[in-house]
């Protein structure tokens, strides 16, 4: 049985103590340590970036040597070393104005506005993940990686099959910083 939701759990407290905007940063840290995602000098795009903890961490790792672009539907408070934009990731015209042609890494902790109806929320998550894959097809350089959060459910296996039919390297990862009750899993894709 999953643990009860604790709004101010140890990860939230740790994030506050270490100056991060959200507990989700520890998911990216774990992903980065496991898959060696962020490299000096690379251009990184954070889709669905608000409140900005992932972009914040990426900027720290880059230490001014790369470019970090954070995009969300809502405004992101300024982060040192990060370009922030308000845009919809399905708006190709907006992305054409914001993004360079080729980037080294795309990260996405996007989640749909939840309805409380599991099947609908999971379907919306898959829809957002497909939008991330569309951005990846257009903008990720050969050899680059994409990391995205997806909610597991009825459409998850089909989404993974589709990704594996198109991309040579597709992995999944459950971050220890994810809430026990969460159906989220991270999908890591390397573009060939």
pLDDT per residue as tens digits for the range 85-102? 999 999 999 999 999 999
Domain boundaries of the chain, sorted by first residue: 10-190
Residue range 20-27: average pLDDT?
Answer: 84
DSSP state of 117: -
Helix ranges (DSSP H) in the chain: 10-18, 25-35, 53-62, 92-98, 118-139, 156-166
Cα separations in angstroms, 35 against 68, 105, 172: 19, 12, 11
Which CATH number applies to 10-190? 3.40.50.150
Q: What is the mean pLDDT of residues 5-16?
A: 65
Output the average pLDDT for the chain: 89
Lowest-confidence pick of 8-12, 29-33, 47-51, 72-76: 8-12
For residue 153, the model assigns a pLDDT of 87
Residues 59, 60, 64, 65, Cα dihedral to 10°: -90
Which residues participate in catalysis according to the annotation?
Answer: 149
Please state which of the ranges 44-53, 120-129, 180-189 shows the lowest mean pLDDT: 180-189
State the pLDDT confidence band at 182, using cuts at 50, 70 and 90.
low
Closest to 132 in 3D by CA, of 146, 113, 145, 152? 146
- Write down the pLDDT at residue 104: 97
d(CA 158, CA 169): 16
**What are 120-151's pLDDT values in tens digits?**
888 898 999 999 999 999 999 999 999 999 98
């Amino acid at each position: 049985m999953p643990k009860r939701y604790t709004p101010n759990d140890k990860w939230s407290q740790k994030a506050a103590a270490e100056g991060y905007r959200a507990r989700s940063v520890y998911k990216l840290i774990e992903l980065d340590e496991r898959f060696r995602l962020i490299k000096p000098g690379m251009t990184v795009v954070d889709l669905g970036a608000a409140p900005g903890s992932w972009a914040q961490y990426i900027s720290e790792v880059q230490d001014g040597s790369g470019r970090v672009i954070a995009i969300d539907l809502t405004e992101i408070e300024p982060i040192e070393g990060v370009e922030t934009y308000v845009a919809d990731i399905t708006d190709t015209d907006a992305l054409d104005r914001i993004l360079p042609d080729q980037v080294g890494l795309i990260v996405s902790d996007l989640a749909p506005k939840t309805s409380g109806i599991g099947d609908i929320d999971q379907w919306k998550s898959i829809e957002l993940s497909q939008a991330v894959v569309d951005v990846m097809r257009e903008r990720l350089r050969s050899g680059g990686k994409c990391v995205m959060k997806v909610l597991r459910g009825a459409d998850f296996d089909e989404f993974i099959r589709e990704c594996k039919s198109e991309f040579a390297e597709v992995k999944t990862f459950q971050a220890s910083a994810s809430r026990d009750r969460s159906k989220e899993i991270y999908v890591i894709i390397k573009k060939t």
